[in-house]
């Protein structure tokens, strides 16, 4: 069984990445995101945007944003909710 983030989809992640300045491109089987200013790059499988977000894809996006100084992990989570409150089902990463 694949662990997913309850109540979150790939469309939610797409919106967060775009808010951080990533540009998305779709290829045969992948969706890639490039942040031109920092050269941060994220590649995900090209799943339907309505599919539940897999935890490890959220973790990869979070860690990339953090590693390139685009967003800390708590700030990244807050981007999912315009009001700034962290979604209760988003799993926290342990570093």
Q: What is the pLDDT of residue 35?
A: 97
Distance (Å, rounded) from C-alpha 2 to C-alpha 10?
Answer: 15
14 three-state secondary structure: helix
Confidence of residue 83 (pLDDT cuts 50, 70, 90): low
Domains in the chain, please, with CATH? Answer: 4-78 (3.30.920)
Structure token digits, residue 61: 């996006």
- Whole-prediction pTM: 0.84
Radius of gyration of the chain (CA): 12
Q: Phi/psi at 81 (nearest 5 deg)?
A: -120, 115
């Amino acid at each position: 069984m694949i662990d997913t983030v309850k109540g979150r989809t790939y469309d939610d992640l797409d919106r967060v990445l775009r808010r951080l300045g990533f540009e998305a491109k779709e290829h045969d089987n992948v969706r890639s995101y490039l942040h031109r200013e920092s050269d941060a790059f994220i590649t995900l499988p090209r799943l339907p945007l309505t599919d539940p977000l897999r935890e490890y894809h959220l973790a990869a996006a979070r860690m990339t944003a953090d590693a390139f100084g685009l967003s800390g992990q708590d700030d990244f989570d807050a981007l999912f909710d315009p009001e700034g409150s962290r979604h209760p089902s988003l799993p926290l990463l342990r570093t």
